[in-house]
A and B are shown apart, each in its own frame.
Chain A
């Protein structure tokens, strides 16, 4: 616990602190740019990009070895990763534009073929430098444990740069993500902004490789926006929440993983994000599962209540068990199904409201008002008391109902 506190307070060593800062910045950047991807319904494009980095890493290694280097220069490897991810991204777009294949097939094809080819290259490297460990497998799952200081600096600086870019580009990107057609009408270069967005995702993917690995970086781009979606309907707020979720997961995950050798950074970060997602899925107000179930039941009860009252008013027999139960619970009918005085009064009111609506729709041709005649909206919400009094005058005196 003391170790965790040290790590959270960035007191667990210089490298660990740098990694934690980098992971936090990366999480924020991934959360926000992932939101743009999510809103453009392209979440899984990141899957293709991440897997497509592998052959680039391997080729960069081979090239660096070919030029006499040791092949393990992180910047060089990441450059290769970025290049091949870019090619993968281009191929996904090309396939979708020029063939009848849908985006999911294009993503799946690119990710599996690039990854397969990357594995072929990895076996080539293994056979070339027998005895030495190239360590390229670390990019599959990420590894921060034995990280050099220059690598930690690279993560921290890279994370800071990406966040800065997002802050600069957030307005145009928000407009494009929210409504590309509207953005184009405003004169924004939608194509170039999309490109910038994919560039950011690419940068995040490449930086994230070192930290969480190419399989789990996808999680940082997808989980925070999906989590944020539960809490708001507004783009700006969603970006903020997704950034916070990503940042919190990166910060806590990196700090936690610094405390023990068997807590790998990538999985811990992803699992923290997944935990936040699960909480949101169930407990978010309005969009959460719990809220939705309750709202659904309330709505169903309102429908049956209204239908039951109208049936009572028209003296129609009620068969629906749920309607009967709701009427009974509210004291509108007796256990044997006969309407109580209270029930008759409520039924008379609802029938009267129906007649008021009939008059209202005959007088008012305004669809904004009469369009709310959906059976549930109380007429008092739509028309003023004076208007309703006017309707009543046209209907005539109240008549007793339920006696038929």
Chain B
């Protein structure tokens, strides 16, 4: 755990953990509201978002890409809601229509725009580039308090840290409305809570988390972290607060373990190169969910006991 760790592993790990946490927090409520696949839909529309941003601005700079991705996520959310209401279509099908159509549009635009630089970004959007988010300026643990070195942190780190903190703050502040509107919509409306606005705000928050996380770690982790850690925690407890805390732990463990296994696992097995960290993190989160499915304390549906 020396200088090399700080230089090459600390920042990607931190970014992975923070991205996982930022997604897992809204994921807890999405799962309880049977909207888990919103994360899936949002992740798919990130591609058209960045392509449009590129076509409009002509650059592959981060900010336009993030704005494009966020805009696409919003458009998708609004379209899904509109189709569900106007067309009286069940939410799953409405989601399927919207994200596939937008994704198809994104791919078509991409082919038409004929740019190899954006093409690179498709892989990036999917798999992220966690492995490259290193901190070359760091020379050891001392750098953590060295302002000069800190100034050269990968910009993804502060970005995802802010978004993770935002998600945590939103979860704390809106805990009661979120919980009540999720558990008992009728009662929540009757005491005057703006239930529809709460639902929309949750999805928008999820979109913000997804966009910030995809930039750093790719959309595979985003989908996996929206669903797997909260689902794992859901199978281990009957208390919402405990579930949220557990989901954060599962998210963090998946990120760290996945990153380490992706980087060192193949070497331990005698291969000379690493595998995709994003893919490995998603895989580990799936393994943890599988364990909870088989042995979780609260895995079954609750039945009345006299």
Contact = CB atoms under 8 A, between A and B. Distances in A.
Direct contact of A and B (CB under 8 A): yes
Interface of A: 38, 41, 43-44, 46-47, 94-95, 98-102, 104-105, 107-109, 111-120, 122-124, 127, 140-141, 215-216, 218-219, 222-223, 225-226, 229-230, 262-264, 266-268, 270-271, 273-274, 277, 281, 287, 289, 292
Nearest to B220: A116
6 contacts: A44-B93, A107-B37, A109-B228, A124-B266, A127-B272, A216-B107
A140 B298 CA distance: 37
B96 A44 contact: yes
A274 to B, nearest CB: 4
Interface stretch (B140-148, B201-209, B282-290): B282-290
A47 B40 contact: yes
A289 B86 contact: yes
A292 to B, nearest CB: 7
B55 to A, nearest CB: 14
Interface in B213-266: 220-221, 223-224, 226-228, 230-231, 234-235, 262, 266
B289 to A, nearest CB: 6
B139 interface: no
A115 B220 contact: yes
A262 B90 CA distance: 35
B78 to A, nearest CB: 14
Given A116-B281, A222-B100, A262 B289 contact: no
Nearest to A94: B293
Contact of B280 (A107, A120, A215, A222): A120
Interface string B37-81: 101100010000000000000000000000000000000000000
Given A98-B293, A108-B37, A112-B40, 13 more contacts: A44-B93, A47-B96, A100-B301, A101-B234, A116-B282, A119-B220, A120-B283, A124-B275, A215-B100, A216-B103, A226-B89, A267-B105, A270-B104
Contacts of B162: none
Contacts of A114: 286
Contact of A105 (B36, B107, B299): B36
Contacts of B83: 281
B286 A113 contact: yes
Interface stretch (B108-116, B152-160, B189-197): B108-116
Contacts of B234: 100-101, 105
A389 to B, nearest CB: 43
B301 A274 contact: no
Contacts of A122: 276, 279
B124 to A, nearest CB: 13
B300 interface: yes
Contacts of A230: 87
Contact of A264 (B90, B97, B107, B127): B107
A267 to B, nearest CB: 4
A264 to B, nearest CB: 5
B302 interface: yes
Contacts of A262: 111-112, 114
B101 A219 contact: yes
Contact of A119 (B92, B95, B103, B279): B279
B275 A38 contact: no
B243 to A, nearest CB: 12
A95 B39 CA distance: 19
A247 B226 CA distance: 35
B87 A281 contact: yes
Nearest to B286: A113
A44 B107 contact: no
Contacts of A98: 293, 299-300
B31 A105 contact: yes
A46 B224 CA distance: 17
B228 A113 contact: yes
Given A41-B92, A229-B89, A270-B104, A113 B282 contact: yes
B105 A226 contact: no
Contact of B104 (A38, A115, A271): A271
A292 B89 CA distance: 14
Contacts of A109: 224, 227-228, 231, 286, 289
Contacts of A111: 40, 223
B68 to A, nearest CB: 18
A113 B288 CA distance: 11
A101 B272 CA distance: 39
A98 B295 CA distance: 11
Contact of B100 (A94, A99, A101, A219): A219
A268 B281 CA distance: 33
Contacts of B231: 101, 105, 109
A216 B104 contact: yes
Q: A-B pairs with the 7 shortest C-beta distances? A: A116-B282, A113-B286, A219-B100, A119-B279, A222-B96, A274-B101, A270-B104
A263 B111 contact: yes
B73 to A, nearest CB: 16
A116 B274 CA distance: 15
Contact of A271 (B39, B105, B226, B272): B105
Given A99-B299, A113-B283, A119-B126, A223 B100 contact: yes
A100 B289 contact: no
Nearest to A230: B87
A270 B37 CA distance: 20
B63 to A, nearest CB: 27
Given A116-B220, A127-B273, A226-B97, A44 B92 contact: yes
A312 B115 CA distance: 71
B268 interface: no
A95 B231 CA distance: 11
Contact of B87 (A44, A47, A140, A289): A289
B175 to A, nearest CB: 21
Contacts of A113: 224, 228, 282-283, 285-286, 289
